[in-house]
Amino acid sequence: MYSMSIFYDAIAIALRSLAISGLATLLASTWCVPIAVKLSGTRSRVGKAILGILNASIGLPTVIVGLVLYLFLSRAGPLGFLRLLYTPYAIVIGQSILVTPLLTFLMADSLSHLKDTILELAYSLGATRRQAILTLLRESLPHIISSMLVSFNRAVGELGVALMLGGNIRGLTRVMTTAIALEVEKGEFELALTLGGFLLLTTSFITLLIRALRWRK
């Protein structure tokens, strides 16, 4: 018998997932946006090399990111004193690092088409450096948002970081992917399937949003 309590559990877990991955994407944007502005359309060798490295790390296995961060955040690790391991914050930080290459690369790529034209236009009308960059960001807003949505999708669907840094603690760090893994292992498929449905809904909805944005601009 499918009970409503499973449904409510699933809702709570899904909301936590959305919050954690949403925060992770926003956090990552605080450094990815400036880096992307700097690197997009770069002609310098160092800049191109960094872009190459970012591009190559887009597919970084999530367990690797999880493992490295685990070593940093664990009791004995250099950041152990922060006591972040097995808290939602650890997942937020971990996912924000996980999506950094993807987010930066996507934004840098889409900014590069507009950068020269828009900066030149802004300067031709008397903008300061700051104003010109704000104008560029405003013009690229649909691209920036769609890059963020793609990154959010990657974060919300990943398992490695959430499991290793969050620990799948009920009511605290249990997110959709970790809960699905646990429930399947226990042989209990109801919650797993419900969450699977939610996860699929989330990512499909985001994908639709991205397409709508592409279509609009």
What is d(CA 67, CA 89) in angstroms, rounded to the nearest whole number? Answer: 16
What is d(CA 64, CA 209) in angstroms, rounded to the nearest whole number? Answer: 30
* 129 in contact with other proteins (CB under 8 A): yes
Alpha-carbon distances, residue 87 vs 24, 111, 164 (angstroms): 13, 35, 11
Which alpha helices (DSSP H) does the chain contain, by range?
Answer: 4-39, 45-56, 62-73, 88-124, 129-156, 160-161, 176-186, 189-216
Q: Chain-centre distance of CA 180, in angstroms?
A: 20
Q: Which one of 11, 48, 64, 117 is in contact with other proteins (CB under 8 A)?
A: 117
73 and 6 in contact (C-beta within 8 Å)?
A: no
* 123 in contact with other proteins (CB under 8 A): yes
* 121 in contact with other proteins (CB under 8 A): yes
What is d(CA 110, CA 90) in angstroms, rounded to the nearest whole number? Answer: 30
* 111 in contact with other proteins (CB under 8 A): no
* 31 in contact with other proteins (CB under 8 A): no
* 147 in contact with other proteins (CB under 8 A): no
The first and second tokens of residue 147, run together, are 């890059």
> Interface with other proteins by CB under 8 A: which range of 78-86, 89-97, 129-137, 191-199?
129-137
- Residue (128 or 207) nearer to other proteins, CB: 128
* 145 in contact with other proteins (CB under 8 A): no
- Residue (129 or 214) nearer to other proteins, CB: 129
- Residue (21 or 40) nearer to other proteins, CB: 40
* 113 in contact with other proteins (CB under 8 A): no
* 175 in contact with other proteins (CB under 8 A): no
Q: Least separation, in Å, of the C-beta of 35 and other proteins? A: 23
Q: Which one of 11, 48, 56, 128 is in contact with other proteins (CB under 8 A)?
A: 128
Exposure letters 186-199 (e unless 16+ CB within 10 A, then b): eeeeebbbbbbebb
* 127 in contact with other proteins (CB under 8 A): yes
How many residues contact other proteins, by CB under 8 A?
18
117 and 185 in contact (C-beta within 8 Å)?
A: no
19 and 172 in contact (C-beta within 8 Å)?
A: no
* 118 in contact with other proteins (CB under 8 A): yes
Q: Which residues contact other proteins by CB under 8 A?
A: 117-118, 120-129, 131, 135, 138-139, 141, 217
